[in-house]
Amino acid sequence: MEQGEALPDHELESYLAALSPEGDPETTGSGRRFGGSQVYQLRMSLMANEQLREIAAHNQTSPLALAQEWVMQRLEWEAQQLPRR
């Protein structure tokens, strides 16, 4: 191999292929599936967004991670409230 010739980065190529809407129906676009997940967009008021950012910073996490954690906690709680069959 000549000096300066780069080896292919298969991990990067796989990541980019997953993001590409052509050829693969799984994308990170709004409401589309990505792997085993569903992507949602969430609109919040400016005040709610600022509160989320402040709480996330206080907890040393990102606003996205905090929102995901809260949604998962709420879903678990809601599932426990459903009547057992």
Q: Write the pLDDT tens digit of every residue in 34-57.
A: 677 888 898 999 999 999 999 999
Q: How far is residue 13 from each of residues 33, 35, 68, 76, measured CA to CA in Å? A: 19, 16, 27, 36
Q: Write the pLDDT tens digit of every residue in 11-36.
A: 777 777 667 665 444 445 555 556 77
Is residue 5's pLDDT more than 90?
A: no
Is residue 64's pLDDT more than 90?
A: yes
- Residue 29 has a pLDDT of 52
**pTM of the shown model:** 0.56
Contact 56, 48 (CB under 8 A): no
CA-based nearest residue to 70, from 42, 45, 47: 42
Q: Residues of the chain with pLDDT > 70: what percent? A: 66
Report the amino acid identity of residue 77.
Answer: W
Residue burial 19-39, b: 16+ Cβ < 10 Å; e: rest: eeeeeeebbeeeeeeeeeeee
Contact 21, 29 (CB under 8 A): yes
